[in-house]
Amino acid sequence: MADKATILVQLDTDPLPSVFDRVVAVDSGAEHIFSYGGITPQNVTALVHGCIFTRGMKDLHRTAIFVGGSDVAAGEAVVAAVKAALNPFRVSVMLDSNGSNTTAAAAVRAAARHVDLASAKSLVLGATGPVGQRVVRLLAQAGGHVRVGSRAKEKAEQVCAAVRAHVPDAKLEAVGVSNSTDGPVALEGRSLVIAAGAAKAVLLPKKIRDTCKTLKVAIDLNGVPPAGIEGIDLFDAGIDHAGTICYGAIGVGGAKMKLHKAAVAKLFTANNLVLDVEEIYALALQM
């Protein structure tokens, strides 16, 4: 008998399920996509049971769950509830709220082509957002020293605490970066900077970047001009600008899209996968 069709159940914490995630699901080869919005830990259990009590064991890997939405913390809470509801049977689950996991994994993968992350000293700007937090987590897991940048140092300290819950031996330092004096201090001795600031926010002006003589790689994830790191072009993908290898948002975005599709496709290879940022980064390393 022919294989059953693949079904991706898109659980979105926003009221309207993301069209972006649905288009990528189609392009990843999912044959049917069931999209639900307004998902919370309180209303998700019946949807999960619909996934696991319908198909026999041998077909369970052909149903999978994708958790998205603009709020990563809400997505994490839904994934926890999904895991609790996956009993006694299981289907695979992926979390990518706001594209945070696939974007962070693609950015860190790009950095790893040029610096040894185990010893690199990095600075993450805009580190309190969904993408920045995941970037910090991956860099910390790789073993290097990471400065965690925010306009408000207390917010950076909260991110450090959250990352330490996943990476207890993380070498993290919270830094406040809110004026032209802070920038050079935060950059001092760094070989890698990744800017994950909000759209249109300039986090690193060129004159401050030029004060750092140790910088080898600069990655800017802001896709809406002006650039988050002044002087980086949106399309830069490993371009050397005066001795610093640069990536812009679209330069990283191509790899992010490939990774997103590969991760969705991987969901249908087994019924017990949980793809969070670490698993998605591991996939990026294989690509």
Ligand X SMILES: NC(=O)c1ccc[n+]([C@@H]2O[C@H](COP(=O)([O-])OP(=O)(O)OC[C@H]3O[C@@H](n4cnc5c(N)ncnc54)[C@H](OP(=O)(O)O)[C@@H]3O)[C@@H](O)[C@H]2O)c1
Q: Residues in the site for ligand X, rule: CB under 6 A? A: 98-99, 103, 126, 128-132, 150-152, 155, 196-199, 201, 203, 221-223, 249, 252-253, 256
Q: Is 115 helix (H, G, I), strand (E, B) or coil?
A: coil
What's the closest the beta carbon of residue 80 comes to ligand X, in angstroms? 21
The side-by-side arrangement of strands in the sheet containing 217-220 is 171-176, 145-150, 121-125, 192-195, 217-220, 244-247, 237-241
Burial class (CB in 10 A: 0-12, 13-18, 19+), 155: middle
What's the closest the beta carbon of residue 52 comes to ligand X, in angstroms? 31
Cβ pair 213, 238 in contact under 8 A: no
In whole angstroms, what is the distance from residue 21 CA to residue 19 CA? 5
Which residue lies nearer to ligand X by CB, 78 or 220? 220
Q: Which residues pair with 148 in a beta bridge?
A: 124, 174
What's the closest the beta carbon of residue 91 comes to ligand X, in angstroms? 26
In whole angstroms, what is the distance from residue 183 CA to residue 157 CA? 17
Place of tokens 């080869």: 29
Q: How far is CA 243 from the centre of its chain?
A: 27
What's the closest the beta carbon of residue 37 comes to ligand X, in angstroms? 19
Identify which of 184, 188, 127, 182 has the alpha carbon closest to the alpha carbon of residue 160: 127
Q: How far is CA 116 from the centre of its chain?
A: 20
Identify which of 83, 85, 89 has the alpha carbon closest to the alpha carbon of residue 275: 83
Which residue lies nearer to ligand X by CB, 63 or 100? 100
Q: Is the dihedral of CA 84, 49, 78, 24 positive or negative?
A: positive
In whole angstroms, what is the distance from residue 233 CA to residue 227 CA? 7
